[in-house]
Amino acid sequence: MMKNLIPLLFVCTVLFISCNSCSNDSADIVDGTKDGDTADETKVVDVDASLFLTSNGSVTVTTVPCTLSDGTSTDCYQIVANSTPADHEMGPWCPDNISDAADKGGIWLENGEVYDVDGAFIENMANFYNDSTWKMYDANGDIYTTETEDDCANAANPNVGEEYENFCVECLPSYVTDLTQTYLIPITPVKQSTSTDFGGFGPPGMGGNGPSQRGVAFNGVVFDAPAPTDAILGAYTLAPFDDAGGHINLNAGYHYHAATGVSTQLAQDDGHSAMIGYAMDGFGLYAQLDANGEEPTDLDDCRGHSDETRGYHYHVAAPGSNSFINCLNGAYAN
Ligand SMILES: [Zn+2]
Ligand SMILES: [Zn+2]
C-alpha cells in the first residue's frame, strides 16, 4: 500500500496520496451531528475561490467534478499552483557565515520552538544538539551550503552521503520554475462522523488513509506533512525553513512546514483568529491565536471546532510544532 513507502529524506510532498482500495469506512457515515451539538454544527461554508491569489497567474482555480472519500459525487476546486507565492518572497534559508544576523537565514523548529537560523545558531549546533559531529563552517566561519541543483538533489537523497554531512541544505526557487502542483478540494465540505488520519510517508503500518498534505494557503502553497527533521538531522544536515515557514524540494516545490503569519491572512471582524487557507477537506484553516493571542480551548483531536459564523473549521498548531492540523473531519477528494 502507498502508506508503506519508505521515508524519503526531505521529500515531504512528492505524492498526493489517495487510496480508493483501502478506505472502506464510508458505510457508517452519518450527518456529523452527535452528543447534543448545537445548531452551528450544521452550518456549512463553501470554499470561496475568490480568496486565492490568482491575479499574477501563480494560482489558477477551476471547478471540476470529483468523488469524495465518503462516496459523494460533487464538484471540487482544482487548484493549480506554481512554486511562486504572490504575497511574499522565498528565502533566505542558510546564512553565509557564522557572523551573519538573523536576516541572512531562515528558521528551524525544535521542541515546539522556532529558532532563527542565524550565524550563531550554526556556530552553536554542537552544543544545541550535544553532539560534537556538528560543525557546519570552516576556519573563516563560512557555512558549508549546497550550491547547485545537483547538491540539492543529492542532499535530499535518503542515502545522503557523508560528503553532505555538515551541510546547510537549501534548494533555490530557480530549480523549480517549471513545477506545478495540483490540489483538489471539495467546494462544499462534508463533515464525517469519524476523522481520517493523514497518510503519507513513514514506517510500514504508520499513517492513515487520508492525503498527506494538510491544506493550501491562499497563495497556493501547500501546508505540508511534518518535515522529517529526525532524518535531516540524522544525516548531519540542516534544511532550514524561511521566515514564512517554507522551503523547497525538487519534487514538491516550495511548501510550508510552519504557519508563521507571513502568508496572506484574512482578518475576522469578531476577533477570531485570521483565516490562512483551506484544509484538504474544504473546511477553513485559521491561525492558532485569536486577536487577543489566545488559542481556542475547545478544539477536537483534529484541531477543529465550530462557530455560528464559520461553521466547522480548524486552527493550525503553533509554528514551532512542525505541524498544522492532526486529521481531517471532512471528506476529501479521492
Ligand atoms: Zn519540506
Ligand atoms: Zn475558531
Question: Is residue 32 pLDDT above 50, yes or no?
Answer: no
Could you give the number of structural domains in the chain?
1
Least confident of 10-24, 64-78, 166-180, 268-282: 10-24
Report how far residue 19's alpha carbon sits from residue 24's, in angstroms, rounded to the nearest whole number. Answer: 10
Q: Alpha helix (H) ranges present in 118-253?
A: 119-123, 125-128, 149-155, 229-234
Q: What separation in Å is there between the alpha carbon of 150 and the centre of ligand 2?
A: 43
Q: Between these two residues, 35 and 330, which has the higher pLDDT value?
A: 330
Question: Look-up: residue for cell 497518510?
Answer: 199
Q: What separation in Å is there between the alpha carbon of 241 and the centre of ligand 1?
A: 8
- Residue 163 burial (CB < 10 Å; 0-12/13-18/19+)? exposed
Residue 211 inside a domain? The answer is yes
Residue 212 inside a domain? The answer is yes
Q: What separation in Å is there between the alpha carbon of 318 and the centre of ligand 1?
A: 17
Ligand with the closest atom to the CA of 248: 1
Residue 326 inside a domain? The answer is no
Ligand with the closest atom to the CA of 256: 1
DSSP annotation of 223: E
CA dihedral (83, 84, 85, 86) positive or negative: negative
Residue 203 inside a domain? The answer is yes
Percent of the chain clearing pLDDT 70 (strictly above): 85
Residue 230 inside a domain? The answer is yes
Domain that holds residue 107: 1-12+46-264
36: how many CB neighbours lie within 10 A of its CB?
6
Percent of the chain clearing pLDDT 90 (strictly above): 79
Set of cell numbers at residue 332:
476529501
Q: What separation in Å is there between the alpha carbon of 85 and the centre of ligand 2?
A: 25
**Average pLDDT of span 171-193:** 96
Residue 242 inside a domain? The answer is yes
Residue 59 inside a domain? The answer is yes
Mean pLDDT computed over every residue of the chain: 88
**Average pLDDT of span 196-211:** 74
Ligand with the closest atom to the CA of 299: 2
Q: What separation in Å is there between the alpha carbon of 245 and the centre of ligand 1?
A: 9
Q: What separation in Å is there between the alpha carbon of 298 and the centre of ligand 1?
A: 30
Confidence (pLDDT) at 41: 61
Confidence of residue 205 (pLDDT cuts 50, 70, 90): low
CA dihedral (257, 260, 264, 266) positive or negative: positive
Q: Give how far Cα 147 sits from Cα of 155, 169, 185, 333, Å.
A: 11, 9, 36, 38
Tens-digit pLDDT profile for residues 34-78: 444 444 568 999 999 999 999 989 999 999 999 999 999 999 999
**Do β-strands 304-307 and 284-286 pair in parallel, antiparallel, or remain unpaired?**
unpaired
**Average pLDDT of span 269-290:** 98
Residue 167 inside a domain? The answer is yes
**ipTM of the prediction greater than 0.85, yes or no:** yes
Q: What separation in Å is there between the alpha carbon of 6 and the centre of ligand 2?
A: 36
